[in-house]
Structure formats: structure tokens, C-alpha cells
Structure 1
Amino acid sequence: MVFMSKQIHFLCSQKKANLLETVKRSAKEAVGTDIVVHVKAKNDDGTALMDEILQAVRSQSKSDSPIVGYIAKEAPEGKLLETWSEKLNGSSLQLADATNGFSELFAVKDAMELTCVKKAAYLTSSVMKNFVVPKLENIIDEEKKVTHSALMDDTEKAILDPSKVKVKLKVENVDICYPPIFQSGGKFDLRPSASSNDDELYYDSTSVIICAIGSRYNSYCSNVARTFLIDAAKSQSRAYEVLLKAHDSAIAALKPGNKVSTAYQAAVAVVEKEAPELLPNLTKSAGTGIGLEFRESGLGINSKNDRPIKPGMVFNVSLGFQNLQAETNNEKTEKFSLLLADTVIVSEKPQKY
């Protein structure tokens, strides 16, 4: 897709071109924009059509070297996009990174988008409350041997079939944001890219279980993460209490007019006051913006982000302590981590889902 002042150019197959026919009239009526479709034949690499699009860019610009915005950090995937990237880089056009512009555009959600986020969040929280928690309780009570990866598979099925948790959402509208994450036994990774390994769930005394799940509704994301303590040691309970307060403070700071960094600073202030010895173990961010993308990078909740918070923004507030030490000699419980995450919609009073 190439957006111009009065045209939007698409390079695609005939099948997708047929779908675009339905938006031609509405685009013209709504914003006075023409939809121009360049249909690529099955065995065509599309280079000639790309030349047509680049020529259209030049002809509609008053400059001899028009400026074209693109997303710099997004690597092209597939032969067609790789060819387009080569064409663009080899042209006389000036390229400018438009990442921040897109981030600003998508940051504030409209009413329809917020409804999708709320439905995704309702599904996510229902899976955690009505599937994951009872599942873990049953495994522990009956001393079953179940792997993290098996729990991941079962939880994914629950997300993809909302009726399993008594949520009335159409199956075709839901999806996972990432494979559900289960961790225990002293091996913890608090990064969003973490995965469930094939180790068995460990739930002896002073053990810690972390679960993170994310679901989509109509492509809009939500996320939740919880930490479960089994016969917790005093230091574990204390660290969890501090984390909970810090997490709540971060959420409370997500008010219109505040800077995004205010939320992380609020969390840090709690830890500094309640348990300063834990500060080195605090995650370096308290999450990111969330929406069509699971991570809206321009809305990272860290100490340096000075972007103003606006009503309608949505955040995945994710905060944790890494590599803490428990009073035990058991190698599977002596090292532990804690994680909490919730989906938060910014209004005059932040709403947690």
C-alpha cells in the first residue's frame, strides 16, 4: 500500500483486488480518495507495476525528490515485499522513517476499537480465572505430572474456543496473541518472547508458578499475567506484596496529561519506599501500549518516555521482579521471579481489564 494525498495504491493479486472493489466508492465519498489497484499476475514479480506506483508518486509531488514515509524497523517478509524494498531503496525518492507517526495514529483508540479490546480482555481474564486457576488447583491437589508445554496447549484451546470458559464470542473472531506461557522450577523469563518448555510443572513448598496469556478479538490484543506462590516463604510473600503495590501505582498513574514515564516512576517510588533492596531486580519497563499490535513500541512504559497520555490509549501494564533469592536450599525454588500484567484503558480514571 502506498498512501498519497488523493490516492491509495495497492499492489496485490486478483483475489485481493476483488475485495478492494467494495471500498472504492466509500473511500471516495468519505475522504475524496481514489483507490488505485495494480493487479499482479500469478508468475509476475511485480517490478513493472512497482515502477508504475513510483512514477505516480513522482507525478503527484511538486518536488523533484519526493519524500516517502516507511516503517524502518519492519523487515520485509516474502519475495514481493523484498522486491519492493529494493525498488524503494534504489529510487531517487527520499525515505523518512514514519514509525512514530503511525504509533501516534494508532495510539488513541475509538469506541469500536475499545469495545474490541474489552472483549479480548474479558476472554483473557475469563480463561485465567475459569480455566487456568482451576486447572492448576486440580494438578496440585491430585499431585499430577503435567508439563508446561501441555498446559500451554490446553490453555490455547480454551482461548480459541470461548465456550469452554462460558464466554459468548464467535470462534472466528478470536485468536491468541502468543502461545500461553507457563514457568516454574526456578527457570523464569519475564520477556514477552518467553516460551513454555517441556519441564514438568513444579509445585513443592516455596515454589513459584508464572502464567501469562494474551488473546485477540477482531485482531485487538489483551494480556494478563499472574504469579502463584505455593506455601510461600516470608521473603516471597513480601516481594509479592511490594510488586502488587507497585503495579497498582503504575496503573493509577496512567492519567490523561501525565507523561508515560510517570507510570514507571510511580512503580519505582513504591519499591524504593517499601523494599529498596529489590530495586535492582525490578524490570526496566512496566509494559507497553497494546492494540492491533501486541507491543506498541512508541508507548513503552519506561523512565524515558515523555509522550503525553491521552484518553483512549490502551496499555499492557506488565511489571516484575527478576532473579530473587528465597530462604531454601532447593535449587528449584531458591531462585524465583514474579510477574503481574493487566490490560488498562486510559480514561479520566484508568480501567483495568
Structure 2
Amino acid sequence: MAEPTVPVLDVPLAAQRLGQLQQKLAAWNVDVLTCAVSKADEEIMQARNIAFSVHLAGLLISECFFMVTPKTLHVFTGKKKLEYLKPLQDRLGEDSVKLHARNKADGNAENYEKAGEVLEQSKKGVGFVSTRHSGSQGPFLDGFEKLVQKAEARDLGSEVGHLMIVQDDKAMTNSRNAGLFSAYVMQKMVRKTLVTMIQDDERISNAQLAEDLERASLDGRVSSKLNLDGSLDAAMLPIVQSGGRYNIKLNAQSDDKRLRAGVVLINMAYSYNNYCANVARTYLFDPSNEHERTYKRLLEVRDEAIKAVRVGATLGQVYDAAINYLKQEDELLVDHLPRNIGCAIGVELQNKDFVIKSGNDNIIEAGMVLRLNVGFADLEDQGKTFSLLVSDTVLVSPKETTVLTEQAKSDLDSIRFQFAEQDEEAQQEASRRLAQTLGERKSRHENSAVNGDAERADHQAEIRERLEAEVRRRLLNQDDDEGSFGTEKTPIAYTDPTRFPYEKVKSQKIIVDRRHETVILPIHGFATPIHISCIKNVSQTDGEDHSLLRINFNHPGIKNIRPNAENEPEAYLKEITFRSQSAPTLQTAFRLIRDTQKKYKDIELERKRNE
């Protein structure tokens, strides 16, 4: 199996950020800051300790313990991972960067002793970066955790999060590119695709459309057109909502119901070199007067919020600007505005300490990037429920606020589409053709069936009624066919050969296709796609000079999460193990497989609850 390209540390940037971190220790009244990143943390999206690793080292380093003092950075992890950080040590010196390799021979006793000495030398106090993972972090990190608890360390996750959201020049460039890419995808790809599907009455679910949009956006064409050669990825799966079922929160999911005209919400987020941008748009098809009036008001509220984003203002003042405008102009909509309308964004898609809500006194600083998520939830018009949403990513500069996603147009004329008149003409034409067809059938019947009886006439009338009802149902777009998306089917990795990522598999490495819930494994030189439901569990271990990734599959005789597991074969694959000298490669595969498993199980549970 061909070895992938090993990532390279940006040494000047890492040195700069380490220096900023060390300068902040005095302000935080500590002289030691610790951060542990475990394998379990990889399964948790937007964990603060993961963001710390990415901010400082440029990528996620799991099974790692960081210690920062005013003069020295200590890193305890596997030998291969330390090689990635060696250039930083070469630049700053061994006294400034000390790299400690794991040692299973002595149970890491020497490493724990060294860490303990650093903690004991603390005079001001010890701080730590919190993790959202509860319970054991594994034998290696649990040893450090005991030392930190003994030192009575305090949680500095919020302070570290504050430091990370004030972006330097390189981070701001990454955020601009993330915003540019996100806006381009929304304006040039999503808008066109959505209009075509609605106009052609294409039978596709919201969830399938979301997957197709993510796959198409990341196939390389958009990044090539925009001349973006950095690392691009989806910061979350796109969210597509239609048909009267809406959730304007960022944790919403696309459902398996059929895509419907009317009000359609699209919410997307992408990362460029690990820095995120978010954009969401509402698209209105044959909107009512109430839809249009309320949407115009939404844009006004969004604009008021953007005006309030300035250096020196608080996040609470931004929210107050939006809610006060509504109270003056349209008080009935006040209860439909969410309790928060966004947050700071960067390496973390959501910084939960810097939320734009009433009473938040955190001050906006130059270099911050905010996600403004303005919407109205659970509105009603003519007995039908609808919601509206507009999200943009904005960069705060000393003199102005720049909307990084403004290329995705949000004015009413750009998101409103009128098909009603065309539909009415089509309906009249279809009705005329139906009447002509039925008339011809009746004439042929009368000429050929001279001795027809009342029973045959009744039968023909019944057929005519069914045909008329079918045509009316198609013309009025009332053929829900919900069952086609709700029925339980045996999962298939790729239903269409065109969806298979042929270019990616040429590298002969493990590919996790989250869009299709599939893991592609290189087996004897063949790229073998396996649906995520076929995988029972996965584990990853690091040795001194190699890493192992073991995948156990569901097979006859065990409790299987795969539905409709009938006609099990007599021969089957029970497990497979991959070995690589590149630890980060298998760590990434492990994290993506676990994350895809979790999301698949969540979707299956939600589907069963809705049945």
C-alpha cells in the first residue's frame, strides 16, 4: 500500500502561536497550562482540546499530553508523532521545546515523573484545557490526569478559546477562503441545482440532496476554479429542509422526506486549512405575500445585527440590536427569533463561550470572526408551518466589518422563484389532453363494442376517474410518495457507479466516504467499498515504529446493526488489520470511521422513532 504524504508543520506559525500562549499565562495567573487529547475526544465534534491541538500544532495529535510553561513546551506522545514536531524543536532549541516519547517498557513512569516535576515547580498555579469527554482517557493519559488533579488545576478552556478566536493574518486568510468557497458553492451550485430539481419535480429526499451537494462541492472543481490549493473539507454535513419540517439550529439534520417546493432551507459550513465559515440561505418557491413580507423583515434584522458588530461592542449588544429593531417594527415576530443568533467561529465551528445572546458581555475584538445565524422559527401561513433562515460569516476589522459570504446573494429577487403561472398553463394543457384522450377512447369503445353493457360502462368510468385523479395529483404536486424514503432497505454503498470516488482510491489508502456512509479499503490492490453498517467496531493502536488499525465486521452469530440481514453467506470477512508507519493516517481513518458510525446510528434511531 502506497504511503500517503506526511503532513509538514508550519514552524514559524507554530512558534508565533506558542509565544502568544506563553505570554498569556501571566494574565491567566498560572505558570503551567496542560491539555490532553485522547482517542475518545476524536469522536466529539468541536471539542476545545482538539481545537487547541489544531491551533498550536496545525493538526489533531491524539494520545498526546501538552504542557506549556512561560519558557518551555513539553509534549508527551508517540515517537512517530514527535517527529512531526521536531522542526519546532530545531528552530527554538531543546530547552524551549522538549519532546517526550511514550515508553511502555516502564509504564511511562519516567514521563509521569518529568510531568510531575514541572507541576511541582509551579508557583502561580496550574490550568488545563477542558474536554467534553467524560470517563477514562486511556491508561497513558489517565496517569497525567491524576497529576493535574493533584495540582488542583483550574479550567482555562474559556480563556484559551478566547485566545484562539482572535485570528492572526494567516488565520484570517484561511477564514476568508473558507467564506469564499462556502458562498460560491451556495450561489453557483446549490441555487442552480435546487431550482432545477424543483422545476423538474425530481424525486429526491432532503438527505440525499444534502449528500449530493457535499460530494459535488468537494470533488475539486470549485477549489480549482477559485485557485484554492489548501485543505478543504465540510465542517458539517449540509442541512436541507423542506416540506413544513424545519429546525433552524446548527445541530439540525436533513430528513429522508421528499424535497418539496415552497420554503427550502439550505445550511452549509466548510473549513479551509481547519478554519470554518458558515452560510445558510432560504429559497422561496411560489411564495405567498406573507412569506415575502416576513423574509424582507428577516433581512432587515440581519442588517441591523451586522451594523452592531464593531470593535468594542459586546456580543449581547449585537443581539439587543436585532431584538430591539423587531420590537419597534414587528413585535409579533419577537417570539420567533431564537435566543441566540450566532457565535464566534474559527477552528471551532461553534465557540459556546462567545455566543451572540442577550447579556453576553464578551467584547468584540479586531480579528474575530463571527457566525451570524438570524432566523424566524415556527411561523404560520394559511395553516402551514414555515421557518426562515439567513446565516453569514463576518470578519471584524478595526474600521469595518466584512461579510465573508456576501457572494451568496440573499436579497428577495435572488432567492424567490415563481413557477405558479407555468404550472397553471401546464395543468390546463394536461387537462385538455386528458379530455381528448378519454374522448377518443370512448369513441373507439362505442364503435367496437356495439353490444356493450352497463357493467363495462361502469368499469370505463372507474378507469377515467382514476386517470383524472392521477393527473390532478401530479399537476398539483401532491404525490408525496413518502414511503419511498421511509421504508427500511438493505444499505448499499453506491447505488450508481458515477458516485464512486475513482480519483481518491488511486492512492491505495483507506478512504472514508461520509457522504455515502462507506469505508473504502485497499484489499490486495482493489478498492473495496464497505457500508458503515457492516462494521461492528474499530480500534487503533500505536507502536514504537508503526500503527495498527483493526476493523471488526458484523457477521453471522452476533447481534447485527445491519437491517434485513437475510441469506447470510457461508463465507464472510470477520476482521481486517492495516499496518502503517504513518500514525496520523490511521488515526484520521479511525476518527472518521467512528464519527460516521455514530452519525449513522443516530439517523437510524431517528428514522425508527418516526416510523
CA deviation profile, 1:57-89 (whole Å, cap 9, x unmatched)? 21x324xxx622113353268525761564245
Equivalence for 1:262: 317
Secondary structure of the equivalent of 2:353?
helix
TM superposition shift of 1:265: 0.9
State which of 20, 33, 37 in structure 1 corresponds to 2:99. 37
TM superposition shift of 1:256: 0.9
State which of 146, 149, 158 in structure 2 corresponds to 1:87. 146
Q: Which amino acid aligns with 1:83?
A: D
Equivalence for 1:133: 191
CA contact (8 A) 2:108 2:140 kept: no
CA deviation profile, 1:240-289 (whole Å, cap 9, x unmatched)? 11111101111111011111211111111221122101111101111000
Distance 2:369 2:228 in 1: 21
Secondary structure of the equivalent of 1:194?
coil
1:323 maps to 2:378 = yes
Distance 2:388 2:191 in 1: 17
Moved more, 101-110 or 130-139: 101-110
Equivalence for 1:294: 349
Equivalence for 1:331: none
Root-mean-square deviation (CA), in Å? Answer: 2.1
Equivalence for 2:89: 24
Equivalence for 1:187: 245
1:350 maps to 2:404 = no
Once the two structures are superposed, the pairs formed by residues 194-233 of structure 1 within 5 Å of their partners are 194-203=252-261, 207-233=262-288
Evaluate the alpha carbon distance shift between residue 45 and residue 158 of structure 1 in structure 2; reply closer, same or farther with a 3 A threshold: farther
Secondary structure of the equivalent of 2:154?
strand
Once the two structures are superposed, the pairs formed by residues 67-146 of structure 1 within 5 Å of their partners are 67-72=125-130, 74-75=132-133, 78-79=137-138, 83-84=142-143, 86-88=145-147, 90-91=149-150, 93-146=151-204
Distance 1:73 1:288 in 2: 20
Distance 1:342 1:47 in 2: 50
CA contact (8 A) 1:287 1:318 kept: yes
Evaluate the alpha carbon distance shift between residue 244 and residue 185 of structure 1 in structure 2; reply closer, same or farther with a 3 A threshold: same
Equivalence for 2:574: none
Distance 1:96 1:213 in 2: 36
Secondary structure of the equivalent of 2:319?
helix
1:250 maps to 2:311 = no
Distance 1:20 1:178 in 2: 29
Evaluate the alpha carbon distance shift between residue 137 and residue 42 of structure 1 in structure 2; reply closer, same or farther with a 3 A threshold: farther
TM superposition shift of 1:224: 0.1
1:272 maps to 2:327 = yes
Once the two structures are superposed, the pairs formed by residues 41-80 of structure 1 within 5 Å of their partners are 41=103, 46=108, 49-58=111-120, 60-62=121-123, 67-72=125-130, 74-75=132-133, 78-79=137-138
TM superposition shift of 1:4: 1.3
**Runs of 5+ consecutive residues of structure 2 not aligned to the other structure:** 1-65, 405-611
Q: Which amino acid aligns with 1:351?
A: T
Distance 1:69 1:161 in 2: 43
Distance 1:191 1:242 in 2: 20
TM superposition shift of 1:164: 4.0
TM superposition shift of 1:178: 0.4
CA deviation profile, 1:134-171 (whole Å, cap 9, x unmatched)? 0001101111111111111112123323414733222x
CA deviation profile, 1:178-219 (whole Å, cap 9, x unmatched)? 00100111111111111111111111xxx2110000000000
Secondary structure of the equivalent of 1:135?
helix
Evaluate the alpha carbon distance shift between residue 283 and residue 292 of structure 1 in structure 2; reply closer, same or farther with a 3 A threshold: same
Q: What is the number of residues matched between the two proteins? A: 336
Distance 1:131 1:256 in 2: 34
Equivalence for 1:6: 71
**Runs of 5+ consecutive residues of structure 1 not aligned to the other structure:** 329-333
Distance 2:105 2:391 in 1: 47
Distance 1:322 1:82 in 2: 44
1:335 maps to 2:385 = yes
Equivalence for 2:448: none
Q: Which fold has the larger relative contact order, with Cα–Cα distance below 8 Å and residues 6 or more apart in sequence?
A: 1
CA contact (8 A) 2:127 2:156 kept: yes
Once the two structures are superposed, the pairs formed by residues 137-156 of structure 1 within 5 Å of their partners are 137-156=195-214
CA contact (8 A) 1:13 1:42 kept: no
CA contact (8 A) 2:112 2:144 kept: no
Distance 1:195 1:89 in 2: 38
- The percent identity for this pair of structures is 29
TM superposition shift of 1:40: 1.2
Moved more, 72-81 or 267-276: 72-81
CA deviation profile, 1:276-310 (whole Å, cap 9, x unmatched)? 01111101111000011111222211111112211
Equivalence for 1:167: 226
Evaluate the alpha carbon distance shift between residue 14 and residue 265 of structure 1 in structure 2; reply closer, same or farther with a 3 A threshold: same
Distance 1:111 1:295 in 2: 21
Secondary structure of the equivalent of 2:253?
coil
Evaluate the alpha carbon distance shift between residue 6 and residue 163 of structure 1 in structure 2; reply closer, same or farther with a 3 A threshold: same
Distance 1:261 1:128 in 2: 29
Distance 1:14 1:183 in 2: 47
Moved more, 119-128 or 155-164: 155-164
**TM-score, normalised relative to structure 1:** 0.89
Evaluate the alpha carbon distance shift between residue 46 and residue 194 of structure 1 in structure 2; reply closer, same or farther with a 3 A threshold: farther
